[in-house]
Structure 1
Amino acid sequence: MLTGKQKRFLRAEAHHLQPIFQVGKGGANEHLVRHINEAIEVRELLKVSVLNNCLEDPKEVGQWLADETGAELVQVIGKTIILYKESKEHKTIELP
């Protein structure tokens, strides 16, 4: 579980990142979860964009993705989800 200070730090780190995954009309699925797991192991912090044609609520999608990947949901702002998971092999982010 992340503290408020850690979430604030991660939001600042994620500000300049571009979303590398998109959730569209089909919604979030196991295929997307597998790809996010692979990417988050390397990057530790990533953004996911929820497209306008997605029928699901971005907050629900963010929570589901966090639960399925074992990551922490840092923030859902608008249609952008920020996820963090500490890498086992490629640790680059030092939390305060």
Structure 2
Amino acid sequence: MLKLNTSQRRSLLARAHHINPVVIIGKEGLSIGVINELDRGLSSHELIKIKVLSGDRKARASLLEEICQRLNAFPINHIGKILIIYRPEADAKEETTESTHRGITRK
């Protein structure tokens, strides 16, 4: 996974300030549907906010890490119950191309 420098992260954080959460993760946690919705959000917008209803900070931090690993995204910020993640559009296109070459189609 590519690393973002401080100025890139700060710029993305400023862009995310006015964005509303795209997905709300409830007590059920990550499901296939939630992952698919996050993937669609990242494909459409590159930068998204996620609201997590869990009260445990450590659980939210591990959830952020898992989401980023599964979706090849970058964690931008974690403030309270809001997570901000970023995936450049080029990464999404490469992932789709690789999946298509393996005979897997993304919906």
TM-score normalised by length of structure 1 = 0.83
Give the greater-gyration-radius structure (CA). Answer: 2
* Aligned position for 1:82: 84
- Which letter does structure 2 place at the counterpart of 1:48? I
Give distance in 2, aligned partners of 1:79 and 1:85: 20
1:60 paired residue among 55, 59, 62: 62
Deviations 1:19-60 (A, max 9, x none): 010111101122211111111011000000001467972111
- Which letter does structure 2 place at the counterpart of 1:16? H
CA 1:87–1:44 in structure 2 vs 1: closer, same or farther (change >3 Å)? same
Contact 2:22 2:41 survives alignment (8 Å): no
Contact 1:11 1:75 survives alignment (8 Å): yes
Contact 1:14 1:47 survives alignment (8 Å): yes
Structure of greater relative contact order (alpha carbons < 8 Å, 6+ residues apart): 1
* Aligned position for 1:41: 43
Give distance in 1, aligned partners of 2:7 and 2:62: 23
Give the unaligned 5+ runs of structure 2.
Answer: 91-107
Where has structure 1 moved over 3 Å in runs of 4 or more? Answer: 52-56
* Aligned position for 1:13: 15
Contact 1:24 1:54 survives alignment (8 Å): no
TM-score normalised by length of structure 2 = 0.75
Give the unaligned 5+ runs of structure 1.
Answer: 89-96
